[in-house]
Amino acid sequence: MLSRRHFIRPVMAGLVALSVLMAGCQSKTAESVDPKGAEAKPVEQSIPELKIAVPGDVGPLNLYLSSGNESLLELVYDKLFAPSPFVKEPQPWLAESATQVDDLNWVVKLRSGIKWHDGQPFTAEDVKFTFEYYRDGPSNRYTHHVSEVPRVEKIEAEDASTVRFTCAYACPSLASITMADLPILPKHIWEKVENPRKFTELPVGTGPYKLTEYKPDQYYKLEANPDYFKGRPLVDSLVMPIIKDPTAMFNALRAGEVDAASRGVPPELLESFKKLPNMKVAGTKELSLTEVRINFEKEPFNEPKFREALSLAVDRKAITDTVLLGEGRPGLQGYPHPDSPWTSPTLSTPFDADKAKAVLDQLNYVDRNGDGVRETPAGQALDFSIKVSSTEPGWIRSAELLKQQFANVGIKTTVEVLDSATIGTLGQSRKFDMYVGSIGPHGVADPDQFVMSHRSGYLWSKGLAYPEMDELTKKWMAEANIDKRKEISFEMQALFNRQPTSLVLYYPTENYAYRADKFDRWVESPGFGIIHKYSLLPEEARKAAGVTN
């Protein structure tokens, strides 16, 4: 757990010992020569280019429109702490240190000498501007970390390298969560942007790569930042073709047209990729989950005991074994993801069809006409739909298995396969009973987001009665000790899983295939797989971020 009082830059205990030559990698290791005849020091050299296929066009990396693609964004942008809120102890990055003065106040010291890609100096004014812009401007994926959970009331640039943050209520995890999550923007560019959702210029960051070219639906091209404050990246140029069709992407990888794919290899293709010459596969824990989202605003899904019965009726292991072929774990620990350092280790969502039936009986939801489907006391059949995207065959199979499992306890469901665009509108339109979806690390590994998800309409809606959760949220916001607050969040998680609005089906394992003869330095960062900036940075920088094999 991060210290409550000080977050100080780790001191390197000497130079990192590197291998003379990495197996299968075109990158070479040179040795610097000390003119006095001292022992040579290994120096990492870069390789000219990597081609990495990406599955979608997210625009010109405007973080107001591309926030679902943090790995790509973070090639260009940096944060105060790294690598993310999804590790136990994020380390200072743009920040040199962060000190909690009292329950409400933090003081951050910034590193000196850092420049934006256009040569302008990075200063405290950029940090102040960024936090205020997220808090007061149009909402985006990062907004709540400043505007609500937590609420940062005041941001002051005390001098060019010092920023003071004052929270509206206790914020013991401001450094480990908020500062490790928010990309910092250049004030001199973004202060002129009136509508960030229409901003189409190529981004300017402090990160290891600069986006130099973007062709919609075709590719991204990025060039290494030779003056990056953590060392020159190991790859000079990144070409990232946009290949939306999974089959086409993996065919391109097989043929050597790309060097790596940022989409996980489907379970049914895994063994064939492992056997290809010069190909390697890296298995990662993605901090994502596949779930059934429940419309808690609609009867009878607004009844906690009914949601409990639904959860008990789901045989998660059977679904996982059938759909993932061993490449994942059944969602038996519920929500959020069990691999997050912020998740209670005691959560449980067991399969118990007999208990599910007993709960439905207690609700007086019984089969009154003998057709195998239960009815409510008012005579309404428990007959619902499960909507699922046509682009996700594994989810469709999961929905068909759910249909059988719900039928076993007297609940009828119909699987409706819809286009992905329609599925994407359901959260706001609320025109659904249940639908299959997935959510990534920000949703399932960030404790602040878990609270926010109960206020945003995803897991619950602010203003909708939920007295037990509201009481715990008040206690959570009032608690100034990070460890005690964590215990309160565990209580919140247990409450949620007793009457869930998300039925976790499984926690998938992602397997990333890459050509080891082109580049073999990939490392995992929790929640980001292997395709991220830390894989492309020198060993010293990886160690500073705590990202090592």
Q: Model confidence over 150-180: pLDDT tens digits?
A: 999 999 999 999 999 999 999 999 999 999 9
Please return the burial class of 87, using the count of CB atoms within 10 Å of its CB with bins 0-12, 13-18 and 19+. buried
Q: What is the CA radius of gyration of the chain?
A: 25
Question: What is the dihedral angle through the alpha carbons of 241, 190, 428, 401, rounded to the nearest 10 degrees?
Answer: 30
For position 442, what pLDDT does the model report?
95
Per-residue pLDDT of the chain (549 residues; tens, 9 = 90+): 333 333 333 333 333 332 332 333 333 332 323 333 334 445 577 899 999 999 989 999 998 886 668 899 999 999 999 999 999 999 999 999 999 999 999 999 999 999 999 999 999 999 999 999 999 999 999 999 999 999 999 999 999 999 999 999 999 999 999 999 999 999 999 999 989 999 999 999 999 999 999 999 999 999 999 999 999 999 999 999 999 999 999 999 999 999 999 999 998 999 999 999 999 999 998 899 999 999 999 999 999 999 999 999 999 999 999 999 889 999 999 999 999 999 999 999 999 999 999 999 999 999 999 999 999 999 999 999 999 999 899 999 999 999 999 999 999 999 999 998 999 999 999 999 999 999 999 999 999 999 999 999 999 999 999 999 999 999 999 999 999 999 999 999 999 999 999 999 999 999 999 999 999 999 999 999 999 999 999 999 999 999 987
- Domain 78-201 is in which class? alpha beta
pTM of the full structure: 0.89
The CATH H-level superfamily of 209-282+510-539 is Periplasmic binding protein-like II (3.40.190.10)
- Residue 55 · residue 523 · CB < 8 Å: no
Q: pLDDT averaged over the chain?
A: 91
CATH class of 289-508: alpha beta
* Cβ-based neighbours of 186, under 8 Å, separated by 6 or more: 116, 118, 120, 122, 126, 204, 205
What is the four-CA torsion angle of 498, 501, 507, 511, rounded to 10 degrees?
Answer: -170
Q: What are phi and psi of 281, to 5 degrees?
A: -125, 125
% helix, strand, coil for the chain, step of 5? 30, 25, 45
Instruction: Label residue 416 exposed, middle or buried (CB < 10 Å: 0-12, 13-18, 19+).
Output: middle
Distance CA 173, CA 150 (A): 9
**Where do the structural domains in the chain lie, given as residue ranges?**
78-201, 209-282+510-539, 289-508
DSSP-derived 3-state class of residue 90: coil
Angle, CA of 49, 233 and 548, to the nearest 5°: 110
**pLDDT tens digit sequence for 138-150:** 999 999 999 999 9
For residue 419 the two structure tokens come to 């286009």
**Token code pair at residue 334:** 């519920």
Cα 280 from Cα 92, distance rounded (Å): 32
DSSP string computed for 457-503: SSS-BTTS--HHHHHHHHHHHH---HHHHHHHHHHHHHHHHHS-SEE
